[in-house]
Each structure stands twice: as structure tokens, then as C-alpha cells.
């Protein structure tokens, strides 16, 4: 019998497949034919396995070069008719114009069920999986990159708002600038605002962005505080954008905003002058005057009453004398000359004990007042 070389080759492939595991195939499902420089585009790759391929993992980390940037946007894994299919959406952004050849690769990692079992139950002291790695080259995607002079690419809007159009001198005006939409918003360069005669205080741009098929989508906000002494006008903001919906470059521009600045606050303007012709005002001021007068009268009355308060007399050394002789002896022992007249009167019995003590009290008080 004559041997069939084709049947023999097929048999060898089947045996190799059974020994190695599942087979796989990469293909491109979606890719843009042309992009502008800086415009992200989605290239969708699919890796289809011949079976469930549970022992396979795909390590896909695309790397760009000086002509384009590449990064994984989404990854999906599904089973169809018992076959495993993995899909990757890769965001490709041209860095310069010309014909691009996007050639990416992925690492296919394969391990056997025996290796999984050994690592799981610890057979033969195996504590890790044994992998066999294969570097798979993905189909080449060719994209025509066209020149682009716009600052941003995508579908965006630009809006400027202020909190008030009329302020006083040195009162701040708050300006908010909004950039909304989708595109390569990560490349936005914050504005620098300069207005003659106006002090400008700017905050860093606040970005609220999430990845999308067009790059990023969301909002970027810039806040300014403007302080001036005279009227001024906020000039229009402009931004060049390549509109991906209309496929043409456009200039986004805000309208100029006029701000009227009035005179600053003066001390005379802080309080309104009282209306003295008003009856209620007159009564109120009369009450204030009466209260002030009453306070002055009460203060003087309290001062006088304080002087008239009863004072406790200090105890004298002669208060304990019971007779005139005893008093004369105590006064003589004190040695003070001021008491000599009283002592003489007591010895001559011209005054009594009570009268002598009263005279001593008067004499002592007069001397203390002089001191």
C-alpha cells in the first residue's frame, strides 16, 4: 500500500497537539485605517483556542515605539462552544505622521495539569507551577497617520463662567474654566491668564478623567480669582482641536467677559447715619441719655454712703482701766507727753474716769488725723 505524506503530516500534528495541549490563533477584528497624530484608535485583537485552554494564560503588555504608543484598554475572556476566546482592545496613538506598522507580541504561558496537581498536593516537594513560555507575534496592523497641528484631538467643549459681573475694588471675581468631552484630554496644558491691572490667583487644574475608546473622557476644571481696582475685561480663551466627529480642525473660543469694578468700602459707608427726625430714634437716644445720667447719680450716692459707713474703733490700752488712779498709772507708764495734761487732771481730781477716757479718745483721733 502506498503511503500518503499529507495524512502522515496531519497525524503528526494531531499527536503533537495532544502532547502539547490546545492550539491558538491570533487575528485582528477591528483596526482604524487612518488616524491623526495624537488621535487614539482602538485595535481589537482576538486569541481563539482550540478548547477550554484552562492551562493557558496570556501575558499581554503591548509596547510602543517612537512612532506610536500602545496600551491595553479592555480585556475580555469568554467560552464559545467549549472553546476559550480572549479579546483585547488596544489603544494605539500615533506620535508622528506617516505609515505605521503596529507589530505587537504577547507571552503565552502553558502549564500541564500534572504540574498543577503536583503544586497543589505537594507531590515530590513541588511548590510551584512549571510553565513553558512562548512569545507569539500578533498580526501586523498598518495605519496611516496624518499630520495634526491641533492642541487636542477628540470631541470637547470649552466654557468660561464667573460668579458675578459687578464687584467693589479689591473684591475678588471667581472665574471657572471647563473643558469637557472625550479625546486625548491627558495632553491638556493649563491656561496662564494675564490681564493688565488685575492680580490673578490660579489653582492647579483639576482633572476628573476615565479611560475610553477615544483616549479619556470627563472634565478638566481651572479656577481663577481676579482682583482689581478698575473695570476690566476677561479675554476669550481659545483652544485648537481636531474634531473627530466632523473629521476637521476647529477652534474653540469663549466670549470676552466684562467686569465692572465700583468704589471700595469707606468708613462712612459702613454704618448708616441715624435719622434724628424719627420719633423712635429720639426716644431711643433719650433713653440712652437717661441711663447714663442715672448711672452717674448712683455712682455719686454710693461714694457718699461709703464715707458714712460705721467704722469699728480700735481698742486702746486704757480701755481696761476701772478707776481714775489706774488710768493715771497706765498713762504715766506709756511715757507719752501728750497724756501729761490728762494725768495731771486725774491726779487733781478735776475730771472723772469717763471724761478722761473721752478726752483721750479725742486726743488720739486728732493726732492720727494729723499723721
pLDDT the model gives residue 304: 78
Determine the average pLDDT of the residues in 166-171.
91
Whole-model pTM over 0.85: no
- In angstroms, the CA 192 to CA 235 distance is 12
Map out the domains of the chain with their CATH numbers: 19-146 (2.60.40), 152-262 (2.60.40), 324-370 (no CATH)
What is the pLDDT confidence band of residue 6, given thresholds at 50, 70 and 90?
A: very low
Give Cα 65 distance to the centre of its chain.
Answer: 38
What is the pLDDT confidence band of residue 198, given thresholds at 50, 70 and 90?
A: very high
Choose among 185, 263, 249, 196: nearest CA to 222: 185
- In angstroms, the CA 135 to CA 137 distance is 7
pLDDT the model gives residue 273: 60
Q: Are 54 and 23 in contact (CB under 8 A)?
A: no
Q: Which cell numbers in the block locate residue 349?
A: 481730781
Lowest mean pLDDT among 104-108, 200-204, 206-210, 332-336: 332-336
pLDDT value at 8 more than 50: no
pLDDT tens string 291-330: 898 898 988 888 877 777 665 656 777 677 778 888 778 7
Lowest mean pLDDT among 13-17, 118-122, 214-218, 300-304: 13-17
pLDDT the model gives residue 14: 40
205: burial class by Cβ within 10 Å (0-12, 13-18, 19+)? middle
Ramachandran angles phi, psi of 340, nearest 5°: -65, -40
pLDDT value at 267 more than 60: no
- In angstroms, the CA 367 to CA 240 distance is 105
Mean pLDDT computed over every residue of the chain: 83
Q: Which cell numbers in the block locate residue 74?
A: 479592555
Q: Are 62 and 34 in contact (CB under 8 A)?
A: no
pLDDT the model gives residue 329: 82
pLDDT value at 129 more than 70: no
Q: Which cell numbers in the block locate residue 357?
A: 477716757
- In angstroms, the CA 159 to CA 180 distance is 9
- In angstroms, the CA 71 to CA 33 distance is 18
Q: Are 169 and 266 in contact (CB under 8 A)?
A: no
pLDDT value at 130 more than 80: no
pLDDT the model gives residue 128: 52
Amino acid at each position: 500500500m502506498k503511503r500518503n505524506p499529507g495524512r502522515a503530516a496531519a497525524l503528526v500534528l494531531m499527536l503533537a497537539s495532544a502532547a502539547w495541549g490546545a492550539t491558538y490563533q491570533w487575528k485582528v477584528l477591528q483596526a482604524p485605517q487612518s488616524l491623526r497624530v495624537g488621535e487614539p484608535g482602538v485595535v481589537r485583537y482576538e486569541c481563539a483556542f482550540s478548547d477550554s485552554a484552562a492551562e493557558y494564560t496570556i501575558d499581554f503588555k503591548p509596547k510602543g515605539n517612537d512612532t506610536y504608543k500602545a496600551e491595553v484598554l479592555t480585556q475580555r475572556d469568554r467560552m464559545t462552544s467549549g472553546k476559550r476566546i480572549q479579546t483585547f482592545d488596544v489603544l494605539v496613538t500615533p506620535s508622528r505622521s506617516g505609515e505605521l506598522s503596529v507589530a505587537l507580541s504577547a507571552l503565552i504561558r502553558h502549564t500541564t495539569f500534572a504540574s498543577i496537581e503536583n503544586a497543589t498536593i505537594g507531590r515530590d516537594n513541588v511548590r510551584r507551577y512549571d510553565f513553558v513560555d512562548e512569545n507569539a507575534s500578533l498580526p501586523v496592523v498598518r495605519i496611516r497617520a496624518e499630520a495634526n497641528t491641533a492642541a487636542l484631538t477628540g470631541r470637547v467643549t470649552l466654557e468660561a463662567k464667573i460668579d458675578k459681573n459687578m464687584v467693589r475694588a479689591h473684591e475678588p471675581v471667581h472665574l471657572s474654566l471647563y473643558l469637557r468631552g472625550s479625546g486625548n484630554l491627558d495632553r491638556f496644558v493649563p491656561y496662564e491668564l494675564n490681564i493688565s491691572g488685575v492680580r490673578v490667583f490660579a489653582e492647579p487644574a483639576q482633572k476628573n478623567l476615565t479611560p475610553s475608546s477615544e483616549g479619556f473622557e470627563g472634565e478638566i476644571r481651572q479656577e481663577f480669582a481676579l482682583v482689581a481696582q478698575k473695570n476690566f475685561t476677561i479675554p476669550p480663551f481659545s483652544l485648537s482641536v481636531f474634531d473627530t466627529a466632523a473629521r476637521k480642525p476647529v477652534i474653540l473660543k469663549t466670549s470676552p467677559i466684562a467686569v465692572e469694578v465700583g468704589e471700595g468700602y469707606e468708613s462712612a459707608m459702613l454704618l448708616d447715619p441715624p435719622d434724628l427726625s424719627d420719633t423712635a430714634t429720639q426716644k431711643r437716644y433719650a433713653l440712652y441719655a437717661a441711663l447714663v445720667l442715672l448711672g452717674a447719680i448712683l455712682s455719686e450716692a454710693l461714694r457718699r454712703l461709703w464715707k458714712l459707713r460705721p467704722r469699728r474703733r480700735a481698742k486702746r490700752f486704757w480701755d481696761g482701766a476701772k478707776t481714775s488712779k489706774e488710768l493715771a498709772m497706765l498713762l504715766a507708764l506709756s511715757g507719752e507727753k501728750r497724756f501729761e495734761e490728762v494725768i495731771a487732771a486725774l491726779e487733781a481730781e478735776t475730771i472723772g474716769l469717763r471724761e478722761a477716757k473721752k478726752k483721750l479718745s479725742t486726743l488720739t483721733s486728732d493726732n492720727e488725723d494729723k499723721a
